[in-house]
Amino acid sequence: MNRLFQWVIQSPLKMLLVVLWVVVIFSQSAPLVLIAENSLFSLLGIIGAIFANATGAGGGVVFVPFFNHLAFSSQSVVATSFAIQCCGMTAGAITWWRYKRCHHQTDSQWRALPTSLMLSVPASLCGVWFAQFGPEKFSVLSPLKGGIEQIHLGFGAFSILLAVAIFASIPFLKRVALKQDAEQFDIVALPVISFFGGIVTAWLSVGVGELVAVYLIIRGFNVTMAIAVAVILSAFTVWGAVIYHVLVTQAVVWDVVIFAGAGAIIGCMLAKYVVLAFSPQKLKLFFGTWVLLLGVSGLPIF
C-alpha cells in the first residue's frame, strides 16, 4: 500500500487520474451504494490485467467467463470486457514501451518491436471493424454477432486451441540464438494473423494479442519482447473495438468498468514484475494451464 501511495504522488498525471476516478464515483446519484455493490470488481480488474500484461493475452480471458456466469447479455459481456481492457491494456502498453526505452533501447533482440507493431496494428483494427460493421452490410457475416451461448462455446474452443499453441511454443523458449529482425515471411504472416485475430477479438474480446505473441515466440523472437508487442497491439485493438459498443450497441456496463478499470491499471503495474520474476517457460506453462481450464469450462459439457 505504501508503494502504491508513492507511485501516485510521484506523478501529477497519476494523481489527476485518481482525482478524476473519485469525482466520477461521487458524482453518481448513490455513490455509497455503487461502491458497496461494485467495489469487488476492482479485484477482478487486477487479476485480469496481471494475466493480460504478463502473458500478452487480453484480459478477456478472465473477464468473459466471469461475466458469462453473471448472466450478462452477449453484447454486454464483450463490450464491458473491451472497456475494462482500454484501461488496463493502455496502462500496460505504456509500461512496456517505457521498459523497452529504458532497458532495451539498443538491444538487438528488441529491434523487431516497432516493425511488428506497424505490421500488426492496422491489420488487427481492420479485422475488428470488419467483424463489427460487416454483419450490418453482409448478412452472411451475421453469425459473428453471436449470442451468449455462442460466445461461451466460442470462447471455450478458442481457449483450448490457444492453450495447445502455448504448450507447443514452450520448447522454442530454450533457443539460444534469437531472431532480431522481421523477415519476408513475417512481413506477410503478421498482417494475416492480426487480421483474423482482430475478427476473433471482436467476437470474444480476446484473440489477436495471444495469436501474435505465440507466433513471435515460435518464430524465435525474444519472449519478453513478444509479450510487449502483444500488450501494445491489444491496447490499440481494444480502443478500436470499444468505439462500436459505445456508439452502436451501448452495451457497456459502466458501473463495473469504473471499478474493474481502476483495478486493471493497478494490475498492469504488477504484471511486469511477474514476467521478470519467473522464467518464460514457467510463465507460459502456468498461463497455458489456466487458459486450458477456462476453455474446458466453456464447453457445453458443463
What does the pLDDT look like over 14-50, one tens digit per residue? 666 677 777 777 777 777 887 887 788 888 888 888 7
- How many independent structural domains does the chain possess? 1
Strands annotated E in the chain? none
23 domain residue, yes or no: no
Domain of residue 131 covers 39-297
Higher local confidence (pLDDT), 245 or 167: 245
Look at residue 218 and tell me if it is in a domain.
yes
The set of cell numbers assigned to 259 is 471499478
Instruction: Evaluate whether residue 239 is within a structural domain.
Output: yes
Burial 142-151 (b: 16+ CB within 10 A, else e): eebbbebeeb
Determine, yes or no, domain membership for 266: yes
Tens of pLDDT along 197-242? 898 888 888 788 888 988 888 888 888 888 889 989 999 999 999 9
Burial degree of 9 (CB within 10 A; 0-12, 13-18, 19+): exposed
pLDDT in tens, 115-166: 999 999 999 999 999 988 887 776 666 665 655 456 667 667 777 877 787 7
Domain annotation covers residue 205: yes
Q: Is residue 10 part of a domain?
A: no
Evaluate whether residue 25 is within a structural domain.
Answer: no
Q: What angle do CA 155, 197, 136 make, to 5 degrees?
A: 85
| 33 part of a folded domain | no
Residue with cell 448513490: 30
Q: How many CA atoms lie within 13 A of 77 on its CB side?
A: 30
Grid coordinates of 89: 491494456
DSSP 141-175: GGGGT--HHHHHHHHHHHHHHHHHHHHHHGGGGG-
Q: What is the CA radius of gyration of the chain?
A: 19
Strand, coil or helix: what is 301?
A: coil
- CA–CA dist 254, 261 (Å, integer): 10
